[in-house]
Chains A and B, each alone.
Chain A
Amino acid sequence: MNAPFYKFNLFGFDVSLIIAFAIGIGFGFMLERGGFGSARILAAQFYLGNMRVLKVMFTAIVTAMLGIFYLSVIGYLDLSLIYVSNTYILPQVLGGLILGVGFVIGGYCPGTSMVAFSTGKIDGLVYVLGVAFGIFVFGEMFPMLEGFFNSTDLGKQTLPSFLGLSYGLVVFLVVVMAIGAFIAAEWSEKKFADRNPEKSI
């Protein structure tokens, strides 16, 4: 076991901030490369004309998931030291719905709006201000929402533990599901090619 490096005290807190900045550069670079700095491309996901969001997201999830899985199998990465947040099923389901609606209305998500803003898009900046306002409203309502926010706590739950399947089998099923989603995405992009803004950008 050597990883996660930070948990094995290979470097201190201040160095972790430099690493955060470096990893952020990679994150922002990839988001921009993928076309995620454009609200039109992101929104086209919901009109089936441009499926970059699904393709990039699922490829990234599969890549990282396989990396984590195999590194833990060979004993390099200690899975128990990886931060898994608790599942609060109802707040997360409702939060996801609100977020999805906000995605179509605003055209971005918090991370992609930063990239849009950094490449000169005024709507990206306005979106970031909107996110800040939404968080402020949540903060002001927090005493009222606290009960719901902390409800339906299922503890640390992963798909393998919840479904009662082995870690490896769930990894395999996710890969199969992703391949199915990619085939569907390619098909839908062809069928709704007239709704793809990428060609006119």
Chain B
Amino acid sequence: MTSLTKTFTKAFEKDESHVHIEIKAKPYSNPYLVGIGLGLVLLAAFVIMGRGLGASGAVSTAVAVTVNTIAPSHASGNQFYTEYLGDGKTSPFKDWLVFEVLGVIAGGFLSGSLAHRVKKGVDKGPRVSNRTRLIYAFVGGGLMGFGAKLARGCTSGQALSGGAILNLGSWAFMMMVFAGGYAAAYFLRRQWL
């Protein structure tokens, strides 16, 4: 009986050692080819819909709906929220950008799965703790959300989509994103390098 248990345990241990062998993540694709692919997706959006891509607008809808659920009178008195809430007849989530962003999440997961890159964890520089990284992620996201609303769009809606149709405001915006990024980079080098 004991030998049987031993054999069984041994077999199990062996099995476990196999579990630890991870399938190596595939390297990322050639950036120029990805750029052409992304450009064709963007072109398809323009040709089919007459509009470009976006990301921050969907989060705005979610924020406006949340505020409206908690404090309806407060939301209805604020033009910023009412614009995302619509006429009240159809659900605000029945929106082009909301469906597009759900697609982005699905597409990212699909690509990551195929290349064995889906892995739970925190992506950070070698010199910072997870906690610091998450605080920075929240603060950076907050600035990004605020800035995107002030600029009427983010990297997808303004820089990429507006850039392709040569929108003046989009190009000014894009140059400032790079300027802001490079100007602040030195002070944040500890987080990334």
**Chain A residues at the B interface, C-beta cutoff of 8 Å:** 3-7, 16-35, 37-41, 43-47, 51-52, 55-65, 67-68, 71, 77, 81-89, 91-124, 126-140, 142-143, 145-146, 149, 154, 157-162, 167, 170-171, 174, 182, 195, 197-198, 201
Pick the contact of B100 from A20, A39, A67, A145 — CB < 8 Å? A20
Q: Which residues of B contact A94 (CB under 8 A)?
A: 147, 150-151, 176
Chain B min CB distance to A138 (Å): 4
Q: Of all chain B residues, which has the CB nearest A109?
A: B155
- In the assembled complex, 19 residue pairs joining A and B whose CB atoms fall closer than 8 Å, in A order, are A24-B106, A27-B104, A28-B108, A40-B192, A51-B31, A71-B47, A83-B50, A99-B154, A99-B173, A103-B177, A104-B184, A108-B144, A109-B55, A114-B105, A118-B109, A120-B112, A135-B56, A159-B171, A161-B168
Indicate if the CB atoms of A43 and B192 lie closer than 8 Å.
Answer: yes
B interface residues, tally (CB under 8 Å): 120
Contact across chains for A108 and B49 when beta carbons are under 8 A apart: no
Which B residues lie at the A interface, using CB under 8 A? 25, 27-29, 31-32, 34-53, 55-56, 59-60, 62-64, 67, 78-81, 94, 96-97, 99-112, 115, 117-125, 133-134, 136-156, 158-160, 162-185, 188-189, 191-193
Closest CB in chain A relative to B128 CB, distance in Å: 11
Chain B residues within 8 Å of A138, by CB: 80, 145-146, 149-150
Residue of A nearest to B143 (CB): A102
Interface of B is mostly: helix
Closest to A80 in B: B50
Establish whether residues A133 and B141, one from each chain, have CB atoms under 8 Å apart when the complex forms.
Answer: yes
Minimum CB–CB distance for A109 against chain B, Å: 4
Contact B162 A85 (CB under 8 A): yes
Q: Verify B42–A60 contact, CB threshold 8 A.
A: yes
With a 10 A CB-CB cut-off, give which of A29, A81, A108 has the most chain B CB atoms: A29
Q: Which of A28, A98, A114, A162 touches B146 (beta carbons < 8 Å)?
A: A98
A169 to B: closest C-beta gap in Å: 11
Do residues A87 and B172 form an inter-chain contact, with CB atoms below 8 A?
yes
Q: Across the interface, do A114 and B172 meet the contact criterion of CB distance under 8 Å?
A: no
Nearest CB on B from A66, distance (A): 8
Q: Is the interface of A mostly helix, strand, loop or mixed?
A: helix
User: Quick check: B103 and A24 within 8 Å, CB to CB?
Assistant: yes
Residue of B nearest to A11 (CB): B48
**Across the interface, do A110 and B56 meet the contact criterion of CB distance under 8 Å?**
yes
B110 CB to closest chain A CB (Å) equals: 6
Q: With A24-B106, A96-B147, A158-B165 given, is the CB distance from A142 to B142 under 8 Å?
A: no
Query: Are B142 and A89 in touch, CB under 8 angstroms?
Result: no
Q: Is the CB of A130 within 8 A of B40?
A: no
Is the CB–CB distance between A104 and B49 below 8 Å? no
**Residues in A whose Cβ lies below 8 Å from that of B150:** 91-92, 94-95, 98, 138, 145, 149
Contact A117 B147 (CB under 8 A): no
CB neighbours of A101 from chain B (8 A): 143, 147, 180-181, 183-184
Are B180 and A21 interface neighbours, CB within 8 A? no
**Which residues does chain A contribute within 8 Å of B103, judged by CB atoms?**
20-28
- Is A60 a contact partner of B35 (Cβ separation < 8 A)? yes
CB distance from A40 to the nearest CB of B (A): 6
**What is the bound-complex CA distance between A27 and B156, given in angstroms?**
10
A184 CB, nearest partner CB in chain B, Å:
12
Given that A68-B46, A102-B143 are known contacts, is A111 also in contact with B155, CB under 8 Å in the complex? yes
